[in-house]
Amino acid sequence: MTAGAVVVLGPTASGKSDVAMHAAVAAGNTHIVACDSMQVYRRMDIGTAKPTGSDRATVTHHGLDLCEPSERHTVSRFVDDITAARVDIARAGARELIVGGTGLYLTAITDGLTMPGEWPEIRAELEADTDTEALFARLSELDPVAVTRMEPNNRRRIIRALEVCIGSGEPFSSFGEGVSTFPDNGVTYIGIRWQRDALRDRIARRVHLMVGAGLVDEVRGLLAEPAGLSPTAAQALGYKEMIDHVNGLAPLDVAVADVILRTQQFAVRQERWYRRDPRIRWVDVERDPVEEVTPFVLAALS
């Protein structure tokens, strides 16, 4: 963790990336750290709302395009990548502005986490079981505390928790105490908050823009790659539904509606995660996040 770092966070489609770009340009000599578990994948650009090439040429970004879509990316690997990036930020004498989207990844790089080991054979066996409901029930028996911290349809998280429970013999909830503690770490957290209906509308508009920008063709290209997609990448918001469409399992309008609904549900989970943290200074946005939130970020960076 880098003391003095500033975080701008919020649910998907809240405008945090735009705020970060405007603040970084205005402040000068500021690097952006993208904290998103899906923007780490190369060529998954449209569906993850990755910063544009122009933005990346204007402001140095870290945390993007770290691995192939066929690879399994982990929190531990992300921490290692950002630790290396921070050496470059320090050498440049630059400020660090973190854009927080994935709560667990953000906690890992600002508060630090004790990460459990990995058991690939156990994970492969669990991933072969397509009954997510049954996996959740199994986790409920092994670690009743862990199931209170995740959604019953969050397959990726359920499998990871089961892998740790079975592999280590210890409850998954016994690891990573940092997710429920909020130490004074010298980081400034600024949160973007919208009224729920307004955020839902923003999400719907953004999904339609992604489809118009070529999301379906992006998914076709990824599916055509010989190495394929990892289970994690294939479950990403927007990609899972468009994969079904490309494979003939859903018409485009149904797939788009599913993306919107699933993204709106994800935004609610993000809000719940961040709501626990008393260190966040929330800014309620009525119209324009850049205009209304950037001044707070600039003040924190100064």
Residue type, 73: H
Of the candidates 72, 82, 77, 88, which has an alpha carbon nearest to the alpha carbon of residue 109?
82
Token pair 């660090």 in the structure block, residue? 96
Residue type, 169: G
d(CA 99, CA 34): 5
- β-pairing, 280-284 vs 188-193, is parallel
What's the mean pLDDT in 291-298?
Answer: 98
Would you state the pLDDT for residue 180?
65
> Contact, 134 vs 84, CB < 8 A?
no
Of the candidates 41, 10, 46, which has an alpha carbon nearest to the alpha carbon of residue 209?
46
In degrees, rounded to 5, the angle at the alpha carbon of residue 126 between the alpha carbons of residues 120 and 130 is 140
Question: What DSSP character marks residue 41?
Answer: B
Q: Which domains does the chain have, with CATH numbers?
A: 6-114+179-301 (3.40.50.300), 120-175 (1.10.20.140)
d(CA 257, CA 288): 26
| Residue 300's pLDDT band (cuts 50, 70, 90) | very high
pLDDT at residue 256 is higher than 90: yes
Among 75-79, 150-154, 199-203, 239-243, the least confident range = 150-154
d(CA 190, CA 106): 13
Give CA 200 to chain center in angstroms.
18
pLDDT at residue 237 is higher than 90: yes
What count of residues does the chain have?
A: 302
Token pair 């072969």 in the structure block, residue? 128
The structure tokens listed for 194 are 């919208």
Of 92-106, 130-144, 207-221, highest mean pLDDT: 207-221
